[in-house]
Structure 1
């Protein structure tokens, strides 16, 4: 979801403004919201997503202070995680105000789903996944749409055919397991020495793990830098 999150961040930082020299009524507020959502829709169309939305209603008697510098509109939450996002509409100036406007929105696009039943502990390979049209923001915890974020990951629990892959379903697999023979890399600046060892626990890349040097039987703690590779500082 890294790419999706980046798009979401860019969208929130890009506000749309609609200038008005008189008082601000529901028509102007809805126009500003539509302008913002149309921009979001066009932005996602460039990424092959189709956005459909509708806005909630406002009291026709609403009469707010004028907003000569234009209204700012932004999502108040992550639109990729909800089909009912709220919009925060605000106005600065001498008489500032802010209000929330409800909306309904569906983001249609291809997500990655299980091509067949998979078991806990399986490492995801290309033949285990397929693309399928879904309402992306209706998938709890967010659907994974980029295959690069999924391949090689380990399943945390079993899934059925057609289940969308979500970030909470997968985890980075252990790079070393208890009892594995590993390469111990002792470094001191540009100088390094390698020796063979045995992992005394499971660990992922970047984590600390205890290893036993097979030549000296000495136990030391190092950082996992790759599959079967543990680095220690001399």
Structure 2
């Protein structure tokens, strides 16, 4: 008796499950490269019905589209309103532009273009790949035209979950040179420290002659002009450390065999060791030219000013 009752219940339950209506999902977010019936409807089988949109793309299925799909696959679904629709979306991410430039730069280097070049790719829209997928890039058919280093090439994109993509590239390889730039704002007269400067590659066409191209040319030097962040150091704007400061009191020295005279003066310019500097004699108010020989000490020639004996 119990077996007969159980068989009756199973027989009644089977048609009910088979006739359970499908429900339209509010949104379809795809991870793979196929669209399945179960992506659109609840209580639907995992039957593949179409290819998924390209990564980063979406499509909209309107009411009539959904009715046609349901009928074709024998699905018990009817729209609740004439506005029933579903958005089918496949997440994606663009291939990072720096990685495109890197693989292209490597290929151009094999054709004689300097490795440290700046790549111009006007109008490039990086191809999309599935979100989170592994990918690999390659270059095919690269050619370079001289002069001007203009190139053409084909970018090949391999990624999990999508067909191989090929994208035509065209642009220019621009020569760059190293330039030492300031890492912070620097004032007139500051001594450039190791952390105050860094090397940056810039387009050669934008770099004026005379810019420092090695850190050793800059570090430990005194600034002859203020500097802004990322401004390049010009060699003429750098000099050795001043041992005589502008407007500072200095001792004027006149030394010759058997004579040693001194006087007080005020330096009118800053000067490094061995450099010429104009100084005002505070006693006579006359201006003489001397040579900075030590911190705060300037040597002058015999007969230039009256001196007080030491």
- TM-score range (shorter-chain normalised) is 0.3 to 0.5
* TM-score using structure 2 length: 0.34
Structure showing greater radius of gyration is: 2
- Which structure would you say has the larger RCO, counting Cα contacts within 8 Å and 6 or more residues apart? 1
* TM-score using structure 1 length: 0.43
